[in-house]
Amino acid sequence: MSDAPAIHPLSRERHKGIGWRRFGDYRFAASASFAPLADAELAKAVLHLPLGFVEQAGRWQFVALLGLLPGRNLFVAPDGRWLAGYVPAHLRSYPFRIGRAEGSEDAVFCVDESSGLLVQNGGEALFDGEGQLTQAAAGVWNFMLEVAKGEARLSAACGRLAEAGLIEPWPLALREGEATKQVDGLFRINEGKLNELGDEAFTALRRTGALPVAYAQLFSMGHFEKLGELSDAHAQAAASAQAAHAARRESEARQGPQFTLGNNLDIDWSKVTL
């Protein structure tokens, strides 16, 4: 798979005779440090993932926190496995994406042509003989549209929490050797202000569906320690891989050139708490 995605609108002309294969692991999400959530998945996500708020282009999003550094998803193992009991819906439709028509907010069905999952004359067909989306492709598109609607509803709820003054910057710092690096751009619920809300304001948030979002964020903070545990597990896996590589090179240097059948390094993730 290419490092840079190549997102193109799905079309009968461009993708004639091309099929797609479903992804077999989550390496494609290894650089996603957060994933936006839809309202319908809130109850499941809160049981497995740390949650927070981000602000992008003037809009609030409620997200699953997958890492604390840009471009780093701690919930994807080196072999591509997902290391949690729930996968955000936003990640489940890969290699397909929702785009926007130029000068319009109309949704466009797009595909990442660099994903390695598009195949010529094979896989699941994208279009049928009449040039219409196949049932499988249409199912993915409908799923994506529903997820996008749910993300918009949750974004609106976040906006109401912000208007009520309940969202505050999340002061997080990461220690790197002797240095400490501040993590910017993450927000959380101010529990003290939430508890101080008057009856009228509290009831208004409950009626508009924003109150469950606030409590979900607070409840999910119990999962925050998972990020530290997973960070340590990744570091241990990297160190093991580096040591194995060094040992192999040293062995090859002693023994001279050899033909091998590949490297079957087995990384033990049994110590990771999920």
**So what's the pLDDT on residue 244?**
64
**So what's the pLDDT on residue 266?**
32
**So what's the pLDDT on residue 173?**
75
**So what's the pLDDT on residue 250?**
65
**Average pLDDT in the 8-34 region?**
94
Please tell me which residue, 260 or 244, carries the higher pLDDT value: 244
5-14, 19-28, 189-198: lowest mean pLDDT where? 5-14
Backbone angles phi, psi at 20, to 5 degrees: -140, 150
Of the candidates 210, 88, 218, the residue with the CA atom closest to the CA atom of residue 158: 210
| Confidence tier at 156 by pLDDT (50, 70, 90) | very high
For residue 185, the tally of other CB atoms under 10 A from its CB is 15
**So what's the pLDDT on residue 162?**
97
Residue 84 pLDDT exceeds 50: yes
Q: How far apart are the first and last CA of the chain?
A: 28
Residue 193 pLDDT exceeds 50: yes
Report helix, strand or coil for 145. helix
Report helix, strand or coil for 93. coil
> In what side-by-side order are the strands of the sheet with 107-112?
7-9, 107-112, 96-100
**Average pLDDT in the 43-70 region?**
94
CA of 264: how far to CAs of 23, 88, 272, in Å?
22, 30, 21
pTM over 0.75: yes
**So what's the pLDDT on residue 253?**
59
Report helix, strand or coil for 105. coil
**So what's the pLDDT on residue 233?**
81
